[in-house]
A and B are shown apart, each in its own frame.
Chain A
Amino acid sequence: MKLIPTIGIEVHVQLNTMSKMFCSCRLSGQDDSKPNQYICPICIGLPGTLPTLNQKAVELALQIGHFLDAEIQEQSSFDRKNYFYPDLPKGYQITQFYQPIIRNGRLTIWLDDDNSSSIKITEAHLEEDAAKAIHPEGQPYSQIDFNRAGAPLLEIVSAPDMATPEEAKRYLTELYLLVTSIGACQGDMQKGHFKFDLNISVAEEGSTTLGTRTELKNLNSFRFAKKALEYEIDRQIYLLSSGKIVIQETRGYNEAEGKTFSQRNKEDSDGYRYFPEPDIPPLDLKTSLIDATRPDTTSSIQLRGLLQSAGLSLRVQDTILLDPKSRLLFMQTLAIFDNDPAKIKPISNWLIGEYQTIESPNLSASHLRQLIELIEASVISNNLAKEIFPDICQGRSPQDIIKERGLTQINDQSIIDSILRQVIGNNPEAVTQYQSGEQKILGFLIGQAMKETKGQANPQLIRKTLVDLLDNMLQ
């Protein structure tokens, strides 16, 4: 029998709002290290306080929903999830259990250049984050930092649609790209802006029911997510193939040991005594309002589509999309080219090579456009452009560099003619070789001509003129 894993993922996206979900406290400040500085009676749950819904959080949720091709729910509402824990000041979390704001979305992920799969998003719901519990080592006490308490989250729940750790990683990457590219999430993984829980089970191939699942909670690294999944799948397969059973439980992942470990037996939703939150009236979103929040920002989904349509490989797409700086530069440069599809490839080419190796590059969209235009207008050659590219990445304009170094490309036919005559005269052997059919020698002759002009000659013009001259000599 063959055991096949099934993976479903819940992602907690911290929404990029100014204030918290239910009060006007600042979401984060210059100095996050100081505990309990962004708090008020509401987010620490003092008696008598009431929640007020952050409209911006709703808008951002709707934007994400649009890009997930999801059904935005005109009617949604909030519920209380009741449990006791020191990081939960009210004794309940305000969430959306019965009527989430978003249902039935999907996200396309690419496994390689040819294979994609569409991951179903079951739902996404708004909720508030808990506070942070700190357990100082060796101390007989714990501390609570409420800065994060009440931070706005959108929990995006996928269907158990993924079969491999790589697929899960691609899903997480793609979702992360989406929410950060549209500005709905700041995306600082260290600060917990994008956390996820992974649900894994294995079952016999062809089985119609899923196996007993475990949940790996609170991860915030794509790489470790993949590793944790690999370990957990092996563990479950080992258990089942040696006649043991998988216990439904929450497990953590020890990054140092590369192993998952049992945290607690999962108390399922039965224990949370969900009921409608009476302090917040149901959300009634009119269709017009839903449409109004349809954003005009370019998402990573659209960007990937553009790169694909230009015939660029998944590797190139990822290089540009996964690096926020490259992505932004790509978008800006394409924009000032009036989104000319013919420019996608040249822009991308500049962003995937040396650019990626330069530490803190200072390349502006207008300089990159200038560079591309100078090449296209044959003012400079590609080689020359490559030569001066590091300087451009230091913030200097291509025009200035060219002027300063006298690097303008030679396009004058009469100059090219005379240089080539000289080269032909100096290399009779090479000419003979060419005439006897050795095409490769052409490169040598072009090289000689480029050398003569210190690389400033238009290489296309050189080649064309050289071939013409040599062919004429034959006749």
Chain B
Amino acid sequence: MNHFTRLTIDQAHHLINSNQITVLELVEYYFDQIESSNNQLHIMLAENKDQAINHAKSWDQKISNGHKLTGLEAIPYLAKDMFMTKGIATTAASRSLADFIPPYSSTAISKLTKAGAILLGKVNQDEFAHGGSGKYSFFGSALNPNDPTRVAGGSSSGSAASVAADYCIFSLGTDTGGSIRNPASYTGTYGLKPSYGRISRYGVIAMASSFDCVGIIARSNQDIKIVLGFISGHDQLDSTSLPSKLNLNKSASIKRIALVKQYQERLKPDQTKAFSEITDQLEARGVKVETIDLPSLEQALACYYILVPAEISSNLARYDGLRYGYNSDQEDLIEVYKNSRKQGFGVEVQRRIMIGTYLLSHGYYDAFYLKANKLRQQIQTEIKTVFKQFDLILSPTTPDIAPLTNTTSIDPTEEYLADIMTVVANLAGIPAISLPKMEISGLPYGLQAMADQEAEHQLLELEDLLC
């Protein structure tokens, strides 16, 4: 343990502002951390070392002139490789973009740059964010810092693992069906998926546009709040971004919490026990906890795995090797298309493109896409009704703790089951958070809370009831 270990934003600012450490020392600490374990954990895809060190030095210069750090100034962070970073390779952990260097930055990255945060580099993930383990990366699987025989979760594997491994203070991830909350649960970090549209998607590689959310992974609830404050807001470049402003000062009052029967039934005894300790604690604090029946959630996963691949099949069409990215280098156009995509995409990406293409094909659109879309609307309506009576829906984030790397199933549908408790928030567009509040066999196990549309302030108050 030294000064630097597992700092939060406020702690880092305090140490720097009181001249106990410099920004350069802090940044160097993180690169040392990376140096010491990244070979084993495979978290980093690109290091932005020279720029980060220069950035740190310029902050130290300002500090020596009497400047006191506030907000996100000089705070080192990492970003999932879905975020466009001008001049820094952005690969989506895919061979198809292995050499892609974007000429522009995403809105979220630009806002952090403007806020003075220091980008240390880009981190590993499942290819194009398809997966829940981190193993579908072209560059190798990021592992769980708590137990490297286990997966880090996914798809934001590197984002969660980097915070858990103390490579940065916070990280950016994306969440389409649980991709922030799942690895947060597995790594013992805080992971927020805000309301759909809360943070601009501009400059973030699209997976399933009507589900994708930019989110934050950090070591404290407070840090999530701070970062959210800086990167949320309407963006003219993202027509689906929320017009309303985030207001975390709204007084939150968590009085009634719903548990979902359909989730409870899936838990094993250990998980049930850990979870009931949480609910007991809440009840002891005067919160009413009730179990409710949401039968449509039985179909949520099916609904999700129809709509998401459909959007994926279209969103990934642009990676054809013609203008940028991996090109199979052949004479014939059709061969270039076929082979660039066959060789550029991994197995899970190809699977989802195939499923999505099939689902949108003539004759299947009505039977699958339209039906699933209706179901999505029904789920949205049901969830809305729940929040008329309850402030939060509470459950574990994942059915289990992080699986061992060598036990992950070869049946993809079994893997998809791990998303059962997370996909609903994306189907409904509501905010959800995973808090590191449970442990099973000494390993972290996340607690998920979902709140009503745009009610992030409710999610961020739960922490106070559990201390």
Contact = CB atoms under 8 A, between A and B. Distances in A.
Interface of A: 41, 44-53, 80, 82, 84, 86, 89-92, 140, 144, 269-271, 273-275, 278-281
* Main SS at interface, chain A: loop
Nearest to A131: B323
B311 A48 contact: no
Contact of B324 (A46, A273, A275): A46
Given A53-B239, A271-B362, A41 B323 contact: no
A47 B90 contact: yes
A91 B362 contact: no
Contacts of A275: 310-311, 314, 360, 365, 369
B323 A279 contact: no
Given A46-B104, A84-B337, A279-B209, A90 B317 contact: yes
Given A46-B324, A47-B97, A48-B205, A281 B239 contact: yes
B209 A47 contact: no
Contacts of A90: 317-318
Contact of B204 (A48, A51, A80, A273): A48
B209 A278 contact: yes
A89 B238 contact: no
Interface in B209-263: 209-210, 236-240
24 contacts: A41-B102, A46-B84, A46-B103, A47-B102, A47-B205, A48-B102, A48-B206, A50-B206, A50-B239, A51-B239, A52-B239, A82-B317, A90-B317, A144-B323, A273-B357, A273-B360, A273-B361, A273-B362, A273-B365, A275-B360, A278-B240, A279-B206, A280-B239, A281-B240
Contact of B100 (A47, A82, A271, A273): A47
A82 B239 contact: no
Contacts of A47: 84, 90, 92, 97, 100, 102, 205-206, 318-319
A273 B316 CA distance: 14
Contacts of A41: 102-104
Nearest to A271: B362
Given A48-B84, A91-B320, A273-B357, A278 B203 contact: no
Nearest to A81: B314
B360 A86 contact: no
A82 B314 contact: yes
A183 B127 CA distance: 48
A70 B369 CA distance: 31
B318 A45 contact: yes
A50 B201 contact: yes
In this complex, the interface size class of chain B, counting residues with CB under 8 Å from chain A, is: 35 or more
Interface string B363-398: 101000100000000000000000000000000000
A82 to B, nearest CB: 5
Contacts of A273: 313-314, 357, 360-362, 365
Interface of B: 82-84, 90, 92, 97, 100, 102-104, 106, 201-206, 208-210, 236-240, 310-311, 313-314, 316-320, 322-324, 331, 333, 337, 357, 360-363, 365, 369
Contacts of A46: 84, 102-104, 324
Nearest to A22: B239
Residue from A47, A49, A84, A278 having most chain B Cβ neighbours under 10 A: A47
B323 A80 contact: no
B237 A270 contact: no
Kindly list the 9 A-B residue pairs having the minimum CB-CB distance in the complex, ordered from nearest. Answer: A91-B317, A270-B362, A273-B360, A278-B209, A278-B210, A48-B203, A48-B84, A47-B205, A91-B318
B210 A49 contact: no
A221 B259 CA distance: 67
A246 to B, nearest CB: 23
A364 B420 CA distance: 74
Nearest to B369: A275
Given A44-B323, A48-B84, A279 B239 contact: yes
Contacts of A281: 239-240
Contact of A80 (B83, B314, B369): B314
B183 to A, nearest CB: 21
Nearest to A23: B237
Name, among B83, B361, B363, the residue most crowded by chain A CB atoms within 10 Å (CB to CB). B361
B79 to A, nearest CB: 12
Contacts of B360: 82, 273-275
A278 B323 contact: no
A211 to B, nearest CB: 23
Nearest to A279: B209
A140 to B, nearest CB: 8
A90 B314 CA distance: 9
A50 B237 contact: yes
Nearest to A269: B362
A50 B238 contact: yes
Most chain B CB within 10 A, of A46, A52, A82, is at A46
Contacts of A86: 322, 333
A201 B333 CA distance: 33
